[in-house]
């Protein structure tokens, strides 16, 4: 059972890595980067959030540099998008948004759980879970010399943050790590999808 | 006495965090970021300089992620600016510049002293103290897709650097850590205020 | 012999630091940064690639913050370019490209070798060697609010990557660390020079 649970987790983690890697590669192609740039943005979008989390909690070398499968999956996603670009751009937007929301929930709860395991306080663990979910996309936007989209609008990082909070509350209430992660990840996913559907935004200070 | 000294230091540190957090939030609002963006820039401006220093000297998790009060203070500053924005913009500029210069001096000497305590050479400790003072604002500017203002003009990072050097010299001359920090921080503060008042700038290569 | 070999390595490393520092300073002057900005970009371009590698493999404080000579060399390069700018701009472009390609090969193989020594897998060590070579220039471009040039075009990071791969293959085939480093560095240098000469570029997805 232990083996199967951690095996499932690895498969989910690599699936999230592949989805985020595809999105990074698509952003790179939109900005006319070359093949190397496509691979770099695939890697960055998929893995840099977790790398930052691991640096901050002192888990070095970061997990994604210790297990070759993470980088290999991110590069495979980048190369696949590069080669099959004309097919990839035809994937309907709702599918991409759904896969991305699933990856976001997965990364946010995995990051929060790992921070808790390293003895980080729940308050900071929630921040680190959010960074795990959105850090890669943030650095990707910085590479593209753009203000990170998560700072501008949209319920995206907020969904990751609230999913992480749900996980922490569930654990406080005594649920197992697995159930807490499932509840937090699902909350993040559903909130993100509803927010896109309903065009929810966070408030700004009126100009 | 020991308790009171470190209590004072904590209060000063949190006060500096609040001031820098306010400035980050104001920059976020000027760039029309949403509430999440305001909190992120408050956190970044207030705490990322110290986080970078702690990563570089191997003090992980960084101090500001080990004590919840730092992040809470930065977020409180961000939320306060968001809610009371119409009052905050009426604070006279000299007050903001003065508070900022005080925070800069405080962070620069605290960062230098911490690096020295970790066995870093005085030369590098001065650099790390400067990074503690200006690193948060630098990353904030990078989030805003702008060339960091400290690289362009103005005696700002230079004031932090020279304040850190004053601290190191004072310690070499045998003063206590407290006196050295007071001298360095005051030097930084006074130099910054005079530089603003007199419109001092660093030289550039003539175009 | 041991002494002489490591002495030569140090001299080469500091020479590479000086060359990369000069390039960072020249970029700073082109963007009208002040003297402080020139020193920061010299330091960044020369040393941040190695700093990132050391953070990722857990070698903290990073080597370039443990030995004062690295930062001193980078700052000396920045100050020299600032003071003698009118002479520096007259250095023929092929000389700069040649010195830069030599520095790139040197940093890429030194970074790969250090990662291997820290028990990193060859696949990830190649990535860390590439980051050592191109990370400083990447962060410099981010400071200048530009999309890093290595993501856009040109055989540059690719030369570092392939040089690192040559090193790993040579070690697998049983050569000594010195020979493997020489082969990898030379491969990187030659490939970079030929690519500039022949205007080679990596493919992009056609718009």
Model confidence at C9: pLDDT above 50: yes
Cβ contact (<8 Å) for B61 and A120? yes
Contacts of A72 in chain C (CB under 8 A): 123
Cβ contact (<8 Å) for B65 and A58? no
Domains of chain B: which residue ranges?
Answer: 2-198
Model confidence at C181: pLDDT above 80: yes
- Tell me the nearest-neighbour CA distance from C123 into chain A, angstroms: 7
Query: Structure tokens of A58?
Result: 């002192």
The pair phi, psi for residue A70, each rounded to 5°, is: -65, -55
pLDDT per residue as tens, chain B (207 positions): 445 667 888 899 999 999 999 999 999 999 999 999 999 999 999 999 999 999 999 999 999 999 999 999 999 999 999 999 999 999 999 999 999 999 999 999 999 999 999 999 999 999 999 999 999 999 999 999 999 999 987 899 999 999 999 999 999 999 999 999 999 999 999 999 999 999 998 999 876
pLDDT value of residue A6: 75
The pair phi, psi for residue B206, each rounded to 5°, is: -65, 135
Contacts of B205 in chain C (CB under 8 A): 29, 38, 82, 85
pLDDT per residue over C122-158, tens digit each? 999 999 999 999 999 999 999 999 999 999 878 999 9
Cβ contact (<8 Å) for B55 and C51? no
Q: Which residue is associated with the tokens 């401006």?
A: B45
pLDDT value of residue A1: 41
Evaluate the CA torsion angle A37, A38, A40, A41 in order and state its sign.
positive
pLDDT value of residue C6: 75
- Tell me the nearest-neighbour CA distance from B140 into chain C, angstroms: 11
Interface probe with C: pick from A33, A57, A147, most Cβ of C within 10 Å: A33
Interface probe with B: pick from A142, A151, A160, A199, most Cβ of B within 10 Å: A151
Question: In chain A, which residues have pLDDT < 70?
Answer: 1-5, 207
pLDDT per residue over C17-55, tens digit each? 999 999 999 999 999 999 999 999 999 999 999 999 999
Contacts of A30 in chain C (CB under 8 A): none
Query: Structure tokens of B164?
Result: 């850190």
Against chain A, the chains showing at least 3 CB pairs within 8 Å are B, C
Q: Which residues contact C38 (CB under 8 A, 6 or more apart)?
A: B205, C25, C28, C29, C78, C79, C81, C82
Q: How many beta carbons lie within 10 A of that of residue B165, not counting itself?
A: 21
pLDDT per residue over A158-170, tens digit each? 999 999 999 999 9
Cα-Cα-Cα-Cα torsion C78, C82, C87, C93, nearest 10 degrees, comes to 50
Q: How many beta carbons lie within 10 A of that of residue B84, not counting itself?
A: 10
Contacts of C52 in chain B (CB under 8 A): none
Region C86-104: mean pLDDT is 95
ipTM score assigned to the predicted complex: 0.94
Contacts of B57 in chain C (CB under 8 A): 60-61
Interface probe with C: pick from B49, B151, B168, most Cβ of C within 10 Å: B151
The 3-class secondary structure across C64-90, one letter per residue, is HHHCHHHHHHHHHHHHHHHHCHHHHCC
pLDDT value of residue C39: 97
CA C169 centroid distance within chain:
21
Distance CA B141, CA A147 (A): 10
pLDDT value of residue C7: 81
């Amino acid at each position: 059972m232990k083996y199967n649970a951690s095996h499932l987790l690895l498969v989910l983690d690599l699936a999230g890595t592949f989805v985020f890697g595809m999105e990074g590669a698509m952003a790179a192609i939109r900005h006319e980067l070359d093949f190397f740039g496509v691979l770099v943005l695939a890697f960055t979008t998929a893995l840099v959030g977790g790398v930052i989390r691991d640096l901050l909690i002192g888990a070095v070398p970061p997990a994604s540099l210790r297990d070759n499968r993470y980088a290999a999956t991110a590069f495979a996603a980048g190369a696949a998008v590069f080669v099959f670009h004309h097919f990839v751009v035809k994937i309907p937007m709702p599918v991409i948004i759904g896969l991305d929301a699933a990856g976001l929930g997965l990364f946010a709860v995995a990051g929060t759980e790992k921070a808790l395991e390293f003895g980080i306080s729940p308050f900071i663990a929630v921040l680190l879970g959010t960074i795990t979910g959105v850090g890669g996309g943030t650095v990707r936007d910085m590479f593209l010399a753009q203000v990170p989209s998560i700072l501008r609008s949209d319920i995206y990082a907020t969904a990751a943050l609230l999913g992480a909070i749900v996980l922490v509350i569930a654990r406080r209430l005594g649920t197992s790590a697995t159930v807490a992660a499932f509840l937090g990840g699902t909350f993040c996913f559903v909130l993100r999808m509803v927010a896109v559907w309903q065009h929810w935004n966070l408030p700004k200070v009126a100009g």
